[in-house]
Amino acid sequence: MGIETSCDETSIGIVKDGSHLLSLQTYSQIELHNKHNGIVPEIASRSHLEKINTLIDLAILESNIKLKDLDYISVTNRPGLLGSLLVGVQTAKALALSLNKPLIPIDHLEAHLSIVMLENKFPEYPFLGLLLSGGNSAIFKVESPDNMKTIGDTLDDALGEAFDKVGILLGMGYPAGAEIERTANMHSKQKGDVSIFPKILKEKSDKVQFSYSGIKTSVIQHIKKNPEFKNKLPKLCYDFQNSVFDLVERNLLKAIESIGIKTVVAGGGVLANTTLRDRMNKLATKHNFQFIYPEKKIYCTDNGAMVACQGFLLLQKYKTNSTDFSISPSRENYNYETKA
């Protein structure tokens, strides 16, 4: 069983042999946070508390197993919102102790990259991990299931965050990724079409680095100069997507070149974007690297099945129901060795 409560999804996944999904029960809090234009941590943790037991019951019911049949319980304990993490972790600890099952603390970002196992994709280590979500835009070198080093990160906003913030500027709901994609798809590119936005991070550098706060400023300036901007929303969304995805491509090519690894495993909510998937697949063919990502869009966003998959990979390391681990808002501050 995998338990995920790091942000605004309460999700329980039950997986057999690390490769077969028995049940995935997710409650998304989008409706609760929508009116606030972003996630309110206190609302998030209270909602996790209200839903988690019911979701566990539903997952067990759908899997057609008994709680005592579980081989292990894995739970996201980092990174994330502290109050939200606490709900999942305390629930997992209680379950593991009462059932006397191994308990496995999971890094949420590592878990995003192991869900491809459910689609029978088992990349060989080392590989490059590309994570594009509401909280992260980063590329990693993944040496083993729990050894993932950051190669490049964002200087400011994450990619999903940029979609969501631009969505607010354009009067869309939260989160706005899918709506921006749908609107961009209405634009048909004409010959000689010039982008509204300048290139992101223009200067030539070997560094793998993301930055998405500047394009937000460009959108604000464009809106100020063009009060009628809503009449040409598809073009604006199309150009926005192109600019932000250009930077993903440039960074990925830099990472492949500098690290010399030709397998990329991608995950995170923004990977649900079909334009991004198409661009990445074309890039992989052109530059001869393997691009692996979850085909099923529900596997891109936060879910308990990815936590169960990651737990499967780490089961040998955590054979006891020891509750001697805590939660952490970040990856960096978590000392894996002493807490494991």
152-171 positions binding ligand KG4, by CB under 6 A: 160, 163-164
Decide if residue 183 touches ligand KG4 (CB under 6 A): no
- Of 105, 134, 152, 304, which one interacts with ligand KG4 (CB under 6 A)? 134
- Of 59, 236, 237, 270, which one interacts with ligand KG4 (CB under 6 A)? 270
Distance from C-alpha of 247 to C-alpha of 197, rounded to nearest angstrom: 13
Alpha-carbon torsion, ordered 153, 105, 68, 17, to 10 deg: 50
Minimal distance in Å, beta carbon 319 to ligand KG4?
A: 29
DSSP codes of every residue in 24-46 = EEEEE-HHHHHTTTS--HHHHHH
With contacts defined by CB under 6 A, name the span among 52-60, 172-180, 281-289, 309-317 that binds ligand KG4: 172-180
User: Which of 75, 98, 101, 78 lies closest to 88, judged by CA?
Assistant: 75
- Of 3, 4, 5, 7, which one interacts with ligand KG4 (CB under 6 A)? 7
Distance from C-alpha of 57 to C-alpha of 67, rounded to nearest angstrom: 9
For residue 314, give the DSSP letter: H
Q: Judged by CB, which is closer to ligand KG4: 99, or 302?
A: 302
User: Which of 302, 324, 288 lies closest to 39, judged by CA?
Assistant: 302
Q: Judged by CB, which is closer to ligand KG4: 88, or 160?
A: 160
Q: Name the β-bridge partners of 117.
A: none
User: Which of 215, 182, 186, 216 lies closest to 201, judged by CA?
Assistant: 215
Minimal distance in Å, beta carbon 113 to ligand KG4?
A: 12
Q: How far is CA 145 from CA 113, 126, 245, in A?
A: 9, 10, 27
- Of 5, 91, 137, 273, which one interacts with ligand KG4 (CB under 6 A)? 273
Q: Judged by CB, which is closer to ligand KG4: 222, or 277?
A: 277
Q: Judged by CB, which is closer to ligand KG4: 126, or 134?
A: 134
Q: Judged by CB, which is closer to ligand KG4: 241, or 263?
A: 241
Q: Judged by CB, which is closer to ligand KG4: 35, or 66?
A: 35
Mask of contacts with ligand KG4, 293-312, x by CB under 6 A?
A: --------xx----------
Could you tell me how many residues of this chain bind ligand KG4 (CB under 6 A)? 19
With contacts defined by CB under 6 A, name the span among 193-201, 269-277, 309-317, 331-339 that binds ligand KG4: 269-277
Q: Judged by CB, which is closer to ligand KG4: 157, or 254?
A: 157
Q: How far is CA 320 from CA 3, 32, 105, in A?
A: 17, 37, 12
Minimal distance in Å, beta carbon 294 to ligand KG4?
A: 11
Minimal distance in Å, beta carbon 106 to ligand KG4?
A: 14
| Cα radius of gyration rounded to whole Å, the chain | 20
Q: Judged by CB, which is closer to ligand KG4: 8, or 318?
A: 8
Which residue bears the tokens 């709506």?
A: 179
CB atoms within 10 A of CB 275: 14
Q: How far is CA 178 from CA 16, 174, 181, 183, 253, in A?
A: 31, 10, 5, 9, 26
For residue 227, give the DSSP letter: T
Q: Name the β-bridge partners of 153.
A: 209
- Of 49, 65, 97, 178, which one interacts with ligand KG4 (CB under 6 A)? 178
Which residue bears the tokens 């690290």?
A: 259
| Binding site residues, ligand KG4, CB under 6 A | 7, 133-135, 160, 163-164, 175-178, 181, 268-270, 272-273, 301-302
